Amino acid sequence: MFTVRNVVDIERLNNAIIEKQAKNIAVIGGGFIGVEVAENLRMAGREVSLVEFAPQILMPFDEDMVQILHKELVDQGVDLIVGDGLAEITTSTIELNSGKEIKADIVVLAIGVRPETSLAAEAGLEIGETGAIKVNQNYQTNDASIYAVGDAIEVYHRIMNKPTRLALAGPAQRQARAAADHIYGIPTSNKGVIGSSSIQVFDYAAAATGLNECTAKQIGIPVDAVYIIAPDKVGLMPSSNPLHFKLIYEMPTGRIIGAQAIGKGNADKRIDVIATLITMNGTIEDLKELELSYSPMFSTAKDVVNLAALVATNIMAGRFKQVRVSEVRPLVESGAVIIDVREPNEFANGAVKGAKNIPLSQLRERMHEIPKDVPVYVHCRSAQRSYNAVMALNNSGYDNVTNISGSFLGISLYEYFQDKALNRAPIVTQYNFK
């Protein structure tokens, strides 16, 4: 049984795996460390189980976004178990709260760490409400001659407006510089933290900044969000891939609260743009007009972040309505009218059960087939064509039409892992991730 806190721990773990010729390894904890350990062990050819007590891994990401990473872990051969916790460890297995037994030659505990505050407590320093060392704006403890920085201190979260803990290297580096400046009498400005992070999960890069939608709502910030799927670079480029991007903003101010990006391209680049805007108290209007560098090799002329802002401003202005991928299953189960505006060959390769196929190219000729007296939900592959269809219908006398954000690709990604984990019937005739 091992923990992972530093390089020495990694070396001990690696040596034990080699010495024991360990084949089955259980990783407990689906945070950044747990996921990275599971990924590396799987890439080394081991059979890996990743167990997370919460309903999802990587809590900075919202539930609708993290399903993409759940699927990737499963596709890469990781036995991912969420919503279940560790109950007992034996010599050859672990037992979960559900009673499930998993073979394990080695167990890696990556269930989070508490701040190392014993030295501070022995020195009579004040410990804050979060359990970390309390410091002022200059990183001084209650003993003015003692400074503290890094993972062991509590910091001020500029969006939540309260103390928090943030175990990230970037803020720790800035704190050290600020403390040194203060020692030498150089003025510094403490603007607090927003929490920006990134991770590689096999073929996918994932990054997040600020608050996710769930956290923002829990602490009472009125927010809305848009989720778009757009190419990370011009589609003609051989390395172009879909980038999944979620933007969270305050209502009714439009102030940007957070964002998440997942894709095979530069997700971190897009999140860095949003982190900068959050720091500058930027809004979706600012993001819409933001001028970014462009080359077909690196991005699209309207970058994903600009597109997200355009969608957000349309939603805020009431120009059209949307539902999330997480809301589609109840619609299907209730028999809602769903129109698929993809082409027939796309429809044949996987469709939402009960959906009617009216391609966008045929919409004007077949509009009479769509009822006006009930709500209508429209989707395509990624929500671009369906947006065009919704606007055409709105301008033709339909006043209860809603776009399905993320559309069929988003639905497939959102539903896949949960369908497998819960052994439930899919709401699609077949998944399609292309």
Q: What is the per-residue pLDDT for 236?
A: 87
Residue whose C-alpha is closest to residue 110's, from 230, 240, 3 = 3
Our CA angle for 375, 379, 385, nearest 5°, is 120
DSSP-assigned beta bridge partners for residue 379: 340
Query: CATH 3.40.250.10 occupies which residues in the chain?
Result: 321-422
Region 321-422: CATH code: 3.40.250.10
Of 391, 356, 226, 232, which Cα lies nearest the Cα of 302?
Answer: 232
Low-confidence stretches of the chain (pLDDT < 50) are none
* Nearest Cα residue to 313 out of 286, 291, 294, 292: 286
Q: How many CA atoms lie within 13 A of 24 on its CB side?
A: 11
197-316 CATH pick, 2.60.40.10, 1.10.10.10, 3.40.30.10, 3.50.50.60: 3.50.50.60
> CA angle, corner 318, sides to 263 and 194, nearest 5?
45
Residue range(s) in the chain whose domain bears CATH number 3.50.50.60: 2-109, 118-183, 197-316
| Homologous superfamily in CATH for domain 118-183 | FAD/NAD(P)-binding domain (3.50.50.60)
Q: Is 2-109 in CATH node 3.20.20.70?
A: no
pLDDT at position 174 = 96
What was the pLDDT predicted at 139?
A: 97
- Residue 44 is predicted with a pLDDT of 95
